[in-house]
Amino acid sequence: MAGTDAVVHRESAHARTYLMCPPEYFAVDYSINPWMTPGVPVDTALAMSQWQQLRSAFTSLGHTVRTIDAEPGLPDMVFAANGATVIDGKVLGSAFRFAQRAPEAAAYLRWFRRNGYQTVVPPRSVNEGEGDIVFAGSVVFAGHGFRSDVAAAGEVQELFGLPVISVMLVDPRFYHLDTALCVLDRDTAAYYPAAFDDAGAAALASQFAELIEVKDEDAEVLGLNAISDGRNVVLPAQARGLAAQLAAAGFTPVAVDVSEFLKAGGGPKCCTLELR
């Protein structure tokens, strides 16, 4: 697709509302994914600065950011994307694979109940929120293989009334779907092919008119852990190749440095839960 054609077909940005949790207690105290090495120091002040810059990137684009208070003893609570899935004002709670993160589920459910959400449903199966549940407009993709149960797809379909497409992740570095897939607009997504089995790759190809294949070096800095509002794409600053691909495809890359969160296997999307 020619660059000028790409620009013409892109939709306008749509204002979004996001929930974020400040990294007040962020640390790498345990290892539950290949990115985490306990004992590697985290610069708490730098993490807070990077988080604030991410928040500012959203607000500068016209989006609304709400916050949930961090709780002591929950170093990964900063990764708000895992706290729930929210579509059409309905909330499906999360259930975490590992005991270290399990208390986060209740903290997020409390926030939704206190903030006026009428339909807040605890999960029956293990699902790690928007880490593995990716909204794509008319359908939802549900990842499994490492952290979320395949059965969670049925709960998603039951609550939200949308078709759900299950995809299997096969590379432990890309343990959540949002580390290997970013929906850019209703017709376009970026993905890392090596993270999926053949059936999953085929499912993505059947849903999107255009798929941007991300190179190893950008996937390996979690470049796909990004957020699109339909035109602007907030992504890790280190994913320079992906930023160029996005610009060539008619999107506007917005680079943010979230290097401290990469130490725990996180990026911009991990830090952000969309309140649809």
- Average pLDDT across each block of 10 residues of the chain; the chain has 276 residues. List them in order: 43 92 97 96 97 98 98 98 98 98 98 98 98 97 98 98 98 98 97 98 97 98 98 98 98 98 98 98
Residues 6 or more apart in contact with residue 4 via CB below 8 angstroms: none
Q: For residues 233 and 39, give the distance between their C-alpha atoms in angstroms, rounded to a whole number.
A: 33
Where exactly are the structural domains of the chain?
13-274
Does 270 participate in catalysis according to the annotation? Answer: yes
Q: Which one of 144, 176, 182, 271 is the catalytic residue?
A: 176
Q: For residues 75 and 77, give the distance between their C-alpha atoms in angstroms, rounded to a whole number.
A: 6
DSSP 172-222: TTS-SGGGTEEEEETTEEEE-GGGB-HHHHHHHHHH-SEEEEPPHHHHTTT
User: What's residue 6's pLDDT?
Assistant: 45
User: What's residue 243's pLDDT?
Assistant: 98
DSSP designation for 122 = -
Cβ–Cβ < 8 Å for 126, 148: yes
Helix (H, G, I), strand (E, B) or coil at 235: strand
Does 21 participate in catalysis according to the annotation? Answer: no
- Token pair 């796909």 is at which residue? 224
User: What's residue 106's pLDDT?
Assistant: 98
State whether the Cα torsion 187-174-162-117 is positive or negative: negative
Residues 6 or more apart in contact with residue 114 via CB below 8 angstroms: none
- 82-97 burial by CB neighbour count: b if 16+ within 10 A, else e? bbbbbbeebbbbbbbb
Helix (H, G, I), strand (E, B) or coil at 132: coil
User: What's residue 5's pLDDT?
Assistant: 45
What pLDDT, in 10s, does the model give residues 119-153? 999 999 999 999 999 999 999 999 999 999 999 99
Q: Kindly state the percentage of the chain with pLDDT values over 90.
A: 95
State whether the Cα torsion 10-12-233-193 is positive or negative: negative
Give pTM, 2 decimals: 0.95
Kindly state which CATH superfamily the domain 13-274 is placed in.
Answer: L-arginine/glycine Amidinotransferase; Chain A (3.75.10.10)
What burial class does residue 107 get, using C-beta atoms within 10 Å of its C-beta: 0-12 exposed, 13-18 middle, 19+ buried?
A: middle
Q: Which one of 63, 144, 182, 270 is the catalytic residue?
A: 270
